[in-house]
Structure formats: structure tokens, C-alpha cells
Structure 1
Amino acid sequence: MDDHWVPVACTLPTAERPLRLAEFDQLFADHLRSADRVDPHTLDLVLTGESRATVTDLTARETECCSFFDFTITEAPGNQVRVRVNVPSAYAAVLDGLSERLPR
């Protein structure tokens, strides 16, 4: 998959983008339990509880370079972690791109 959907507003150096995308891909492959696209600018993810440290670190780093992302991390039943991802309406295509990376 390419990263054509990554906006110009992202300050992560271009050379580092494939590595960051690979981190998200690995997180999703190893720990994603469910995903729900609530609306065009909101995505809810449920991941295993073991992923909490990785989720916290990865979302913090992503917010540093792409400040339009709003990640809310909460506990979910069954030792799981819920991540609500919000973006402004102008960045819905970015959330589309992230959603397309989710395992089916």
C-alpha cells in the first residue's frame, strides 16, 4: 500500500513515513480485535490489553507529527484497549487511508 493519503500537514520526514506505517500495520496485525468507522471523521479500535504501551507510544508520536489526529485511549472490557481516533472533517481522507490498512 502506498502513502498517497498522508497529508502535507504531516511533519514526519518523508523517509520515516514507511517505517511509521509499518508500525501501525504491525500493531493492527498483532493486536486489533475490532474496528468501527463511526462516521467519516471517527474510527473506534479495540486492541488487546498487551498492546497498551505500544498504543500509547505510537499515538503520542503520531500526534507530534500530525497534530490534526486526536487519539483517546481508554480501557475496554476483557483486558482490552479502546482507541478512538478523531480527525477534523478536512482530514477524513487521512482516516480513510488509515482504515484501509486495517486487516480484513
Structure 2
Amino acid sequence: MKSAPAQQDTATAPGRATLAGTFVAVVVLLFAHLGTAPGVGDLTGPDQLLGLVAGGLVLSISLSVWAIKTLYLVGRERRWSWQIASAPAVVFTGLVAGLIPW
């Protein structure tokens, strides 16, 4: 009778794709908030709404993936990686940039 192999570390830290999705979503949300975009000029009301919906959707997906991967990594395997802090840092930076009066 064979014994089961030792369980290997299967969880990985949130990677570049999660960080890239978060960054793109925050940039789109900032442009929609400011009402202007490079190469496009001033955004109209429907353009801003489309930017807010698209940015919010991408941000919610990216942060859901980030949360699930983080919970698996920290909760199940009891490991830590500095890549975990990257997505919240981007969101916090975008929040601060959005609160600055332009």
C-alpha cells in the first residue's frame, strides 16, 4: 500500500496580472473622476459612466482574485509575500490621488 505524497505548497502570491488589473482599473477610475483622458480630451457624461462601470468591474474582479489568493496563501499555508501588499498599495495611492483637488 502506497502512502499519499506529502502535500506541496500549491498557493501562490497574487502576481503581476492581479497588480496590472488593479493598476489599469485605478487609472481608468481616476480619468473618469477627473473627466479627461489623454488622447481623448474631455469626457462626456456617458463616457464617464462607461469608464466608472468598466473600471469598477475590472477592479472588483482583480481585488476578488487578490483576496482569494491572499486567503489561501496566508490562511492555509501560513506564508507571507511582499506581493500581497502591492494591490492595496495601488488602490490606496489611487484613492489619495483622487482626493487631491486638481
What TM-score, normalized to structure 1?
0.34
Q: Bigger relative contact order, structure 1 or 2, given CA contacts below 8 A and separation 6+?
A: 2
> Which has more helix, going by share of residues?
2
> Which has more strand, going by share of residues?
1
What TM-score, normalized to structure 2?
0.34
Query: Which has the higher Rg, Structure 1 or Structure 2?
Result: 2
